[in-house]
Amino acid sequence: MTPPQQNPEGAIDVELSEEIAEGVYANLAMIAHSNSEFILDFIRLMPGVPKAKVKARIILTPEHAKRLLEALRENISRFEEAYGGINEPNEFRFPSGGFGGPVGQA
């Protein structure tokens, strides 16, 4: 695979396929690390389903993980300036058996 070409201004021409552009929904992330990498697993928990599925795994160098952290901080700050603060839950618990509550019927 050839590396992306840079245009004269130094910007990278990024290709985004239609499949990837659709995105993948995740409502949980788990992070692990070793001395050389960070592993981010993006997971989808579904109501009433006791098993969650990893929908995407991203592996980063520690330097790239730190850049991602700073980029998220900057973007969250911009978001909150434009749309107001994001609520932070006081406590997070893994739902047992999914989200709980009554299960709908069709």
Question: Is 103 or 71 the better-scoring residue by pLDDT?
Answer: 71
The answer, yes or no, to whether residue 106 has pLDDT greater than 70, is no
Tokens linked to 50: 């006791």
pTM of the complete model: 0.71
Write the pLDDT tens digit of every residue in 34-74: 999 999 999 999 888 889 999 999 999 999 999 999 999 99
C-alpha 45/C-alpha 29 separation (Å) is 10
What end-to-end distance do the CA atoms of the chain give, in Å? 48
Residue 50 · residue 100 · CB < 8 Å: no
What is the residue type of 67? Answer: R
Q: Could you give the 3-state DSSP secondary structure of residue 69?
A: helix
Predicted pLDDT of residue 7: 61
Least confident segment among 2-6, 12-16, 65-69: 2-6
Tokens 């995407």 -> residue = 56
Place of tokens 């609520």: 87
Q: Taking the CA atoms of the chain, what radius of gyration do you get in angstroms?
A: 18
Cα–Cα distance measured from residue 99 to residue 44, given in angstroms and rounded to the nearest whole number = 11
pLDDT value at residue 89: 78
> Is pLDDT at 22 greater than 90 in this prediction?
yes
